[in-house]
Chains A and B, each alone.
Chain A
Amino acid sequence: MSNDIRIKNGLTINLKGAAKNIVKKAPYPKSVSLNPSNFHLIIPKMVVKVGEKVNVGDVIFYSKKDERIKFCSPVDGIIKEIVRGEKRKIIEILIDADNKKKIEPSIIEFEKLNPDEIKNIILNSGCWPFIKQRPYDIIANPSDKPKSIFISSFNSAPISADFQIILQDQKEEFKMGLQVLSKLIDGEINICIQKDVSTFINDIKGIKVHSVSGPHPSGNVGVQIHHINPINSGEKIWTVGPEDVAILGRFFLTGIYKPIRTIAVSGAPVKNPQYYKTIAGSELYEIINDAGIDSNDSLRIINGDVLTGNKVEPDNYLGFYNNTVSVLREGNQYRMFGWVPFINNVVPSIYKTSFSWLFPNKKYDLDTNLNGEERAFVVTGEMERVFPMDIYPMQLIKECMAENIDKMESLGIYEVAPEDFSLIDYSSSSKIEAQYIIRKGLDLMIKEVG
């Protein structure tokens, strides 16, 4: 069954440097990293020591709060370093990868198992961290009984990865993953596809497919949930990324934890924007070098898309979840009278104060300049223009700043994730850091309400 959802409020930002439909196999990484900062609010409890030998799927650390949630090695190798910061906080675990050994694949029979047994298999496989929950956008609690599972099968953020390309050779794994996930809940799994795009997902049985149209953030799973089955106080919905479903499916098909990541390396400074198949947590260096960037420019490399990702250095590692690595020019230069309307047309605007709107299909090469300075809230109505939920974004942001828990709850904090506010970050004329404020608000709710 197909249901149509039309997103009206939002914004399509046309950027140069979208990845071409070429998938290259990246060389097997020399080292990989597990970075606890990828797992929001997880405090790692280490299981291994430096110098220890680990195999694929061996537990590296587990969550201090819930020992069932395990984080496993994506490669065979040796623990090279445990990087610690202040108060011995674990920043990153680096693993030197050996050449991979062959393991005989063996299918895992799960049809006859009950949901708890399947959960245990997933927890022990290292695949559990791929299951995230709303509210709060954190790793799901295995004890919860969610009312549904949602998967968004497309990205609407600018120059982000196209899951049609990523899943094209992982269809069986993806289907298997869906079957496993559907065992965990009572109802059907909800998958959102882009309207008018033909995809193999349409032919999968036993799932509920919704077609969604409209500008970004129509691909955000939170926006889709809001329009299909909104979260009320006390309810939980689980979400899984499309390639993460395939990783889970691969585990059940082969018995091997193999977190393959197909990443789109995109951005205007990239010479050959294209896809690379690698392992989650791989070194970025070789991939970015292969894609080719102009090293003379000062560049920003981002794990994730340009609206929600994290800044990393070129010698850092790929994140656990992201399918996009974006590269932007740093905007650390002054622009004389850059604020005068109708003069500087190289930066698009939701306001028609530059001539950028005359060329709706023009692609832009944006840098990381803030294009102004932070100011008090003045302009109203601009947040609503890019926020397609029946929630008052500015009021919610203000209550988060005031840490007013009751008001945050009644204004709909359970339904939002920071990524839903990324366009508000982008378009705010007062340069409000909405994602940051909402993340802090969500963390406060976790602390106070749980």
Chain B
Amino acid sequence: MNIRETIDKLKKPFNKGEKWERFAPAFNAFDTFLYVPNHTTKHGAHIRDAVDLKRTMITVIIALLPALFYGIYNTGFQYYSQLDIEYNIIDLFIHGSAKIVPMIAVSYIVGLAIEFAFAVFRGHEINEGYLVTGLLIPMIMPVDIPLWMVGLSVAFAVIIGKEAFGGTGMNILNPALTARAFAFFAYPTYMSGNEVWVSEASNIDGISGETILGVLASGESSLNYEPLQMFMGSIPGSIAETSTLMVLIGAFILIYTGVGSWRIMVSGVIGAAIMGLLFNLWGANELMSFNWINHMLVGGFAFGVVFMATDPVSAAQTVKGKWIYGLLIGVFCILIRVFNPAYPEGVMLAILLMNVFAPTIDHYVIEANIKKRKKRGIKTAVNIA
């Protein structure tokens, strides 16, 4: 008996009218993971593109992997490089994996359990969006955050941030950032300061590590990092945000495959560059005079613009809207960094803020289109008269 027949046999109790019919979405999620189903076109076009949401989401995950692997490496590197012991690259990965893999596991288990429950309860198929969200959430957390906080943040993001609005495709805020914002405001001591960014920093006296933006925000000008280091990513920070290089590889994958919006990424960079340059000219404090290029290399800016701002559901949906939306994210990110000492990193709040305004931006873009059409109608009517 081949695998397909085995699945069909197992699936029988889940079919219409059978006893486990309600749980069909849960079974289908596994079934369609193994096999693209045998569904054929019913109405409309008789042929269809190879792309579906599974493929789109997996492409995003592939784009995330370089940053994730670097994050695992960097977690180990930040830890070992401050201890006076010998280490090799395998030690770094072992330490990093021991920290990060459980976080990913918790994120997927909690998130998918809630998704499955809602799918069964509402009787719809399970959407693949959480495959990306579930990986993003641990990637943007500080490495030492307790696992139960990860779980709680995930639950908050999925239930309040997504399902309360009607599920995948309906949410206003980016779910992964909702999880981070929840943790940030609920457990600030675990999410900011100078003892959370390097593994075990709060337990071992020999280890400390503040993020570059944290250092600058406290008014110190002595930076121990070269721009190349910032670019490569061997600096303290949230797990996967540190390496601009790895994020750029991800961005390349997203843009090349056409899955991520290059417009948002480009306009985000333009917005940040404009603000950075303006503040460089002003130069009233350390953060203002911090080189505008370096602004884009440190903190979560690159990661946020490439992987968070481009979430199609919470971003602006029109082409023009995407340009405006991305530009404002860049502008607000630097603005919050410079003007709000309580939040040294502004990209999370900038993106969440623009998530809220994205429908408004789209509204005005579409209104312009509607007005154009109305005007054309009036013009023709006048000509005829």
Contacts and interface: CB of A to CB of B under 8 A. Distances in A.
| A and B: interacting chains | yes
Interface of A: 13, 15, 158, 230, 232-235, 300, 302, 306-309, 311, 326, 328, 330-341, 344, 347-354, 356, 366-381, 384, 390-392, 394-395, 410-412, 422-423, 425-431, 433-436
A306 B40 CA distance: 13
A353 B44 contact: no
Contact of B125 (A368, A373, A380): A373
A232 B40 CA distance: 37
A369 B36 contact: yes
Given A334-B35, A380-B312, A307 B49 contact: no
24 contacts: A232-B380, A308-B45, A311-B46, A330-B40, A336-B36, A337-B35, A339-B54, A371-B52, A372-B36, A372-B37, A374-B125, A375-B127, A375-B128, A376-B127, A376-B169, A378-B127, A380-B312, A390-B369, A395-B317, A410-B370, A426-B45, A429-B49, A429-B55, A429-B56
Nearest to A335: B36
Nearest to B376: A232
Contact of A307 (B47, B56, B369): B47
A379 B45 contact: no
Given A341-B62, A352-B256, A435 B34 contact: no
Which 10 pairs across A and B sit closest by C-beta, in order of nearness? A372-B52, A376-B169, A338-B36, A232-B377, A347-B50, A425-B45, A339-B54, A334-B35, A425-B44, A349-B50
Contacts of B370: 410-411
B19 interface: no
B9 interface: no
B337 interface: no
Contacts of A430: 52-53, 169
Given A381-B319, A394-B317, A332 B46 contact: no
Contacts of A307: 45-47
A339 B58 contact: yes
B55 A341 contact: yes
Interface string B337-375: 000000000000000000000000000001001101110
Contacts of A13: 47
Contact of A368 (B47, B59, B312, B366): B47
Contacts of B319: 381, 384
Nearest to B374: A410
B51 A334 contact: no
B207 interface: no
Interface of B: 3-4, 32, 34-56, 58-59, 62, 125, 127-129, 167-170, 256-259, 261, 312-313, 315, 317-319, 322, 366, 369-370, 372-374, 376-377, 380-381
Nearest to B42: A433
Contacts of B58: 339-341
Given A349-B51, A435-B45, 8 more contacts: A328-B47, A332-B38, A337-B36, A373-B37, A378-B169, A392-B318, A411-B369, A412-B373
B34 A337 contact: yes
A436 B44 CA distance: 6
A341 to B, nearest CB: 5
Nearest to B317: A380
A165 B62 CA distance: 48
B38 A306 contact: no
Given A232-B376, A426-B45, A353 B39 contact: no
A356 to B, nearest CB: 8
Given A339-B36, A375-B125, A410-B374, A381 B312 contact: yes
Contact of B168 (A339, A366, A372, A375): A375
B48 A370 contact: yes
A336 B318 CA distance: 35
A1 to B, nearest CB: 20
A288 to B, nearest CB: 16
Max count, chain B CB within 10 A of own CB: residue among A333, A350, A376: A376
A429 B35 CA distance: 17
Contact of A331 (B38, B49, B53): B38
Nearest to B170: A376
A371 B40 CA distance: 8
Contacts of A235: 380
A371 B50 contact: yes
A434 B52 contact: no
B128 to A, nearest CB: 8
B72 to A, nearest CB: 23
Contacts of A234: 377
A403 B322 CA distance: 27
Query: Which of B261, B315, B369 has the most chain A CB atoms inside 10 A of its CB?
Result: B369
B50 A354 contact: yes
A332 B380 CA distance: 51
Nearest to A333: B38
B306 to A, nearest CB: 16
Contact of B51 (A337, A371, A433): A371
B71 to A, nearest CB: 23
Given A352-B258, A384-B319, A412-B373, A435 B50 contact: no
A281 to B, nearest CB: 22
A427 B44 CA distance: 12
Contacts of B36: 334-339, 369, 371-372
B38 A429 contact: no
Contacts of B170: 376
Nearest to A354: B50
A380 B315 contact: yes
Contacts of B37: 334, 370, 372-373
Contact of B257 (A351, A375, A391, A423): A351
A378 B129 contact: yes
B45 A351 contact: no
Contacts of B257: 341, 351-353
Given A368-B46, A372-B53, A381-B312, A351 B258 contact: yes
Nearest to B168: A376
A370 B39 contact: yes
A353 B59 contact: yes
A354 B4 CA distance: 24
A369 B38 contact: yes
